[in-house]
Structure 1
Amino acid sequence: MSKAGDKYDFPPHHEKRLQEKGYTISTLLNSGKYGLVCNGSATVNGSTINTAVKIIDLTKTSADYRNKFLPKELYSLDTLKHEFIIKIYDIILITNTVYVFMERADGGDLFDMLKDSAYKSGIPEPKAKILYKGIASALQYIHGRGWAHRDLKSENVLLNADKTIAKLTDFGFSTSCFNTQTGEKVLKDTYCGSPFYAAPEVLRAQPYDAFKTDVWSMGVVLYIMVNNKMPFSNALLQKLAKLDPNSKTPIQITKNSISNDCKDLMLCKTPIQITKNSISNDCKDLMQKQLDINTRTRIDMAHVLSHQWFK
């Protein structure tokens, strides 16, 4: 089993083909469900720059992924260009392997950043505001192009070396939110992303507005940034995930260790309550508006960015 730091083992002839195009791959950074990410380099305008390389072996993926998710991801990577989205240099297919050469984030991801003891109680608001505004503007741009991300989480927020700039990455579950023939907005019914960041309507397997579920996930990201903990317990998520959307009987919650606020949230009665005293009222208000159970009143990304917290 390969681990971080191991040299990438090329399929026959791939290394030479990539070198002819000005690309190299060295060591493994990490691995995921659908492929590997390695260190690499690219020759751009005569200069060699360090890159990350996402490597997808198509023979090890499902037909559903190859036919449904991968084409959308590659289209998103190729067309969505924004200063706070990780830059793509090239996408190369050699036999059954896809190589995506992209901007390398030397500061790691938000999840790793919060492991630092300096952020034990969360990222201070002034710094969190700068990082969050960047990825929020990227998401507003994505939504403005008619696409939703659908896998927003701390691991998909990457940072530069000094951790002053955050960018979005990983468009494996991205999707267009409009019917290509009629131009009408369509609801989605594919369950995807991380359950800890998923909106209640996704966990309940209900058709959902992917723009609004992205806003919920961004609310979770903001909550984690300033608190360094998840807003919802695993027990709460399990209850939400098991809720029968067709049931006429309200879910029964008896565990004494679950707070009344969480119980109300599970019953879709009230928004999440945020009580940490060190968080400003404006920041709390923004999170509450994003983590709004009612999709009709949950704000969109334009209203997120125009919120008083950013003033």
Structure 2
Amino acid sequence: MDDAAVLKRRGYIMGINLGEGSYAKVKSAYSERLKFNVAVKIIDRKKAPTDFLEKFLPREIEILAMLNHRSIVKTYEIFETSDGKVYIVMELGVQGDLLEFIKTRGALQEDDARKKFHQLSSAIKYCHDLDVVHRDLKCENLLLDKDFNIKLSDFGFSKRCLRDDSGRLTLSKTFCGSAAYAAPEVLQGIPYQPKVYDIWSLGVILYIMVCGSMPYDDSNIKKMLRIQKEHRVNFPRSKHLTGECKDLIYRMLQPDVNRRLHIDEILSHCWVQPKARGLSSAAINKEGESSRGTEPSWTPEPGPEKKSATKVEPREEARPETKPEEDAAQVAKQPEPLGLSSEQLPREKEEVPPQQPPETHT
């Protein structure tokens, strides 16, 4: 039977195509039982690579079945047919994804970004508390419901973290995700702490929310990595971001994994907590990193060496994957992006930086 006939027998009336890859596709459908539209991810086992079938698909199915959070896409049903097709019926992001939203409307105001980022961070805390990591956080994987609330989706790279005999989380060696959102340790092919990797991606996402552009140019990975390891983050002057917002982004885009914020520290940061906003810089430092060192929050880059970071957007890829800079392990193959295609975000016009640019961290 074709997909429409299979879905009809299960009580779904198939609708339009939402996205398609080499061995997976997403269709919209109307559920006669639920009385509303859903998304159906259809995976063809006959076309999928072995590592996906043996490792990633079982993980995704196991994790989707256990998650239940208001800011994570709901999974209503998972079933398989005798001809080797897997059907995953999920909540539909009726307002599209966050990348499309920002492309259309531009950067978010901080109050709107705060609401959406808090929803996303709450979803990540829920996952991390279950020792589940996403490992592919990006704007295309953040869907919006009818009220424009965030719904985290696409757990194709997710996994349950393992612990050693002492209870510490073991490092991951599978290098996956999108280069533009990948942490420096992943780009370098270093075994990494997967929860800490998720935090870097959160930093990139918040930057995109409030700036409408990418924090780093991933067209030159070596150059991007050098800038990241120097802990340089440029903010467009035209956005007039608050110090608290820039402080939070800067602390998430921390190349030192031992100093990068944890999810609980993000949720307790003064920018995320409206009642705590307006704290002094000393209070911000105490809340954010006093336990991790004494690195100053705001150290402008020296004027003569000041260079504006190129703002670039996620590029269309088969299934965006990080490829470590030189000799890291082979990247795991995954389905192509399903849903709205990734197109360029609005670019910030180059501006002449001031002598003492407050929007640059080093």
Q: Is the TM value for this pair above 0.5?
A: yes
Q: Distance in 2 between matches of 1:237 and 1:13?
A: 43
Indicate yes or no: 2:188 matched with 1:204: yes
Q: Distance in 2 between matches of 1:33 and 1:14?
A: 16
Match of 2:135 among 142, 150, 155: 150
Q: Secondary structure at the match of 1:55?
A: strand
Query: 1:60 Cα shift?
Result: 1.1
Counterpart in the other structure of 1:107: 95
Q: Distance in 2 between matches of 1:238 and 1:101?
A: 40
Q: Secondary structure at the match of 1:310?
A: coil
Counterpart in the other structure of 2:215: 231
Aligned length: 271
Q: Distance in 2 between matches of 1:270 and 1:103?
A: 38
The CA RMSD over aligned residues, in Å, is 1.9
Mapped contact 1:40–1:51 kept (Cα < 8 A): yes
Indicate yes or no: 2:233 matched with 1:272: yes
TM-score where L is the length of structure 1: 0.82
Aligned partner letter, 1:196:
A
Aligned partner letter, 1:301:
I
Quick one: percent identity of the two aligned structures?
36
Q: Structure 1 pair 182/63, CA: closer, same or farther in 2 (3 Å)?
A: farther
Q: Structure 1 pair 271/228, CA: closer, same or farther in 2 (3 Å)?
A: same
Query: 1:114 Cα shift?
Result: 1.2
Match of 1:287 among 249, 254, 260: 249
Q: Secondary structure at the match of 1:190?
A: coil
Mapped contact 2:97–2:141 kept (Cα < 8 A): yes
Mapped contact 2:211–2:235 kept (Cα < 8 A): no
- The C-alpha deviation readout for 1:219-258, integer Å capped at 9, x for no partner, is 00000011111100124424457xxxxxxxxxxxxxxxxx
Q: Secondary structure at the match of 2:271?
A: helix
Q: Distance in 2 between matches of 1:269 and 1:14?
A: 51
The unaligned stretches of length 5 or more in structure 2 are: 274-362
Q: Distance in 1 between matches of 2:211 and 2:194?
A: 26
Counterpart in the other structure of 1:245: none
Counterpart in the other structure of 1:253: none
Q: Distance in 1 between matches of 2:165 and 2:89?
A: 33
Q: Where do residues 253-264 of structure 1 align in structure 2 (5 Å cutoff)?
A: 263=226
Counterpart in the other structure of 1:248: none
Q: Distance in 2 between matches of 1:210 and 1:34?
A: 27
Q: Structure 1 pair 240/270, CA: closer, same or farther in 2 (3 Å)?
A: closer
Query: 1:185 Cα shift?
Result: 1.0
Q: Distance in 2 between matches of 1:203 and 1:105?
A: 31
Q: Secondary structure at the match of 2:198?
A: helix
Counterpart in the other structure of 1:63: 50
Mapped contact 1:204–1:240 kept (Cα < 8 A): no
Indicate yes or no: 2:294 matched with 1:310: no
Q: Structure 1 pair 16/269, CA: closer, same or farther in 2 (3 Å)?
A: closer
Mapped contact 1:272–1:292 kept (Cα < 8 A): no
The farther-off stretch of 105-114 and 14-23 is 14-23
Question: Where in structure 1 do 4 or more consecutive aligned residues deviate above 3 Å?
Answer: 13-18, 179-184, 238-241, 273-277
Query: 1:25 Cα shift?
Result: 1.9
Query: 1:270 Cα shift?
Result: 2.9
Mapped contact 2:22–2:47 kept (Cα < 8 A): no
Aligned partner letter, 1:170:
D
Counterpart in the other structure of 2:40: 53
Mapped contact 2:59–2:158 kept (Cα < 8 A): yes
The unaligned stretches of length 5 or more in structure 1 are: 1-11, 242-262
Q: Distance in 1 between matches of 2:23 and 2:176?
A: 14
Q: Structure 1 pair 56/269, CA: closer, same or farther in 2 (3 Å)?
A: same
By relative contact order (CA 8 Å, sep 6+), the higher-ranking structure is 2
Mapped contact 2:108–2:209 kept (Cα < 8 A): yes
Q: Where do residues 12-31 of structure 1 align in structure 2 (5 Å cutoff)?
A: 12=1, 15-31=4-20
